[in-house]
Amino acid sequence: MLFSLFFAFFKIGLFTFGGGYAMIAQIKESIVEKKQWLTSDELMEIITIAESTPGPIAINLATYVGYKRRGALGSALATLGVVLPSLIIIYIISLFLEAFMANIYVAYAFIGIKCAVAFLIIKAGVEMFVELPKKVLPLVVFFVVLGAAVTFELFSRSLSSVLLIIVGGLIGIFVKTVLRLGKEKDKE
């Protein structure tokens, strides 16, 4: 089981370009669909938690899955597995960086990789939206955050993702508090 954890995340780290969001589709396919180490709901919850905690989302996901499966040692091995491919590749590239970046085929490859990464991020976003509970609060928060992000982007203004996370959390707290107070008042 420990080797399986390490190897699963090593493969994800090795064959996914574009960072944590691009890895979500691979993690879902490998960890949820094939290995069934998490349910789709658990993945959605841990993505939410991993996004709101410090550190890259892929590392947070690997750490969580490893811990859930095999405790602290599983956590360490899954995390090492997802990080090690990037570490090795970046080290090798750094040895030949100037020649590597001057190669026209490498430049063309990066153009293709950027397109693939954009697709993977959009795919992960669409899948998360489809799995989002079809309740008023999650939909309102989604559309408020999406609207704010698109509006700020259209007007070339910077909008911190941290601010969006805080606003989403505050909306959730506000609505749940109002609903709870309303239920308490109805009981009286």
CA distance 160 to 117: 21
Last residue of a domain, one of 131, 165, 180: 131
pTM: 0.59
pLDDT tens-digit readout, 63-85: 889 998 899 999 999 999 999 99
Domain C-terminal end among 131, 162, 178:
131
Q: Give yes or no: residues 73 and 109 share one domain.
A: yes
Coil vs helix vs strand at 139: helix
Same domain assignment for residues 59 and 108: yes
pLDDT (tens digit, 9 = 90+) per residue, 15-51? 876 666 777 888 888 888 899 998 888 888 888 887 7
Same domain, 117 and 168: no
Give the Å distances, CA to CA, from 8 to 3, 123, 168, 171: 8, 21, 32, 37
Number of compact structural domains in the chain: 2
Q: Is 43 strand, coil or helix? A: helix
Same domain, 139 and 104: no
Separation of alpha carbons 177 and 188, rounded Å: 17
Is the same domain home to 122 and 145? no
Q: Are 149 and 186 part of one and the same domain?
A: yes
* Same domain, yes or no: 125 and 141: no
Query: What is the number of alpha carbons within 13 Å of residue 187 lying toward its C-beta?
Result: 6
Domain that residue 109 falls in: 2-131
Residues 110 and 187 in one domain: no
96 plus 175 within the same structural domain: no
- Distance CA(178)–CA(51), nearest Å, equals 26
CA distance 159 to 108: 31
* 144 shares its domain with 56: no
Query: Please, which residues have CB within 8 angstroms of residue 114's CB and are 6 or more apart in sequence?
Result: 18
Same domain, 12 and 71: yes
Same domain, 155 and 103: no
For residues 9 and 81, the answer to whether their CB atoms sit within 8 Å is: yes
* Predicted pLDDT of residue 67: 92
